Amino acid sequence: MSTDNKKKEGLVPEPSLRRMPTYLAYLKMAKNQNQQFVSSTHIARDMGVDPTQVTKDLSYTSIVGKTRVGYEVEPLINILEEFLGFRTIDEAYLFGAGSLGNALLLDHGLSQFGLKIVAAFDVDANIIGKEIAGVPIYHMDDFHKMQEEKQVNIGILTVPSEYAQKVAHDIVDGGIKGIWNFTPMRIRLGEDVVVQDTSLYAHLAVMFNRMQYLKK
């Protein structure tokens, strides 16, 4: 009797996934320096992590290393990018074109990582109808209509915290399957939606806490 109760069975560990983009950044630098191979030993030394952790992390992808040589840089970059979903561009809507939303709209970097913001939604009459970095800003009320024409899966949530839950619920209703949540609020949604919390304040909290131990 297979207890396939949808627990995280065989999922790639989240810590590994989080480390992979840092390997990618390292590898791109190695490529720029015309290195053809890198070993886990070198990656680990340069990045200040454990070499077996590098090997284990990379083993979740399809790359195979060569004993006494390491990994071939260019294929590894390609495989990692493919594995992480940075190669296929996903379209996204941005909800809340305020301070942080603007920054994300202005960022050229995101498209290199597989994300393209195709429209923004807000409720502030002063900005609706305008464009930021070529991305049009619509009223929230137009969201459902837009979704009928153009099915977009990903929503970037940068509204004020107090509206996070409401807006999240609303956009999932409209067919959004993945929410990149920048508010410090946890949002509660069904099992069929992925919510990725990215609270900058969480990182600040960790930094402050760890710094306390230095000061002594």
Partner DNA sequence: TTTTATTAACGAAAATTTTCTTTAAAAGAA
Partner DNA sequence: TTCTTTTAAAGAAAATTTTCGTTAATAAAA
Tell me how far apart the terminal alpha carbons of the chain are, to the nearest angstrom. 56
Q: Which helix (H) or strand (E) holds 192?
A: none
Contacts with ligand NAD, residue ranges (CB under 6 A):
95-101, 103-104, 107, 109, 121-124, 140, 158-161, 163, 167, 182-184, 200
Q: What strand order describes the sheet that includes 154-157?
A: 131-132, 135-139, 115-122, 90-95, 154-157, 178-181, 194-197
96 binds, among a second copy, DNA, ligand NAD, none (CB under 5 to 8 A by kind): ligand NAD
Segment contacting DNA (CB under 7 A): 53-61, 81-89, 152-160, 161-169? 53-61
Q: Minimal CA–CA distance to 23: which of 91, 92, 60?
A: 60
Binding DNA by CB under 7 A: which of 22, 52, 112, 198? 52
Does 51 sit near DNA (CB under 7 A)?
Answer: yes
Tell me which residue has tokens 């409401």.
166
Answer for the pair 184, 199: CB distance below 8 angstroms, yes or no: yes
The footprint of a second copy (CB under 8 A) covers 11-12, 14, 17-22, 24-26, 29, 32, 46-49, 84-86, 90, 99-100, 102-104, 106-110, 113-115, 153-154, 161-162, 177-178, 180, 183-186, 188, 192-194, 196-214
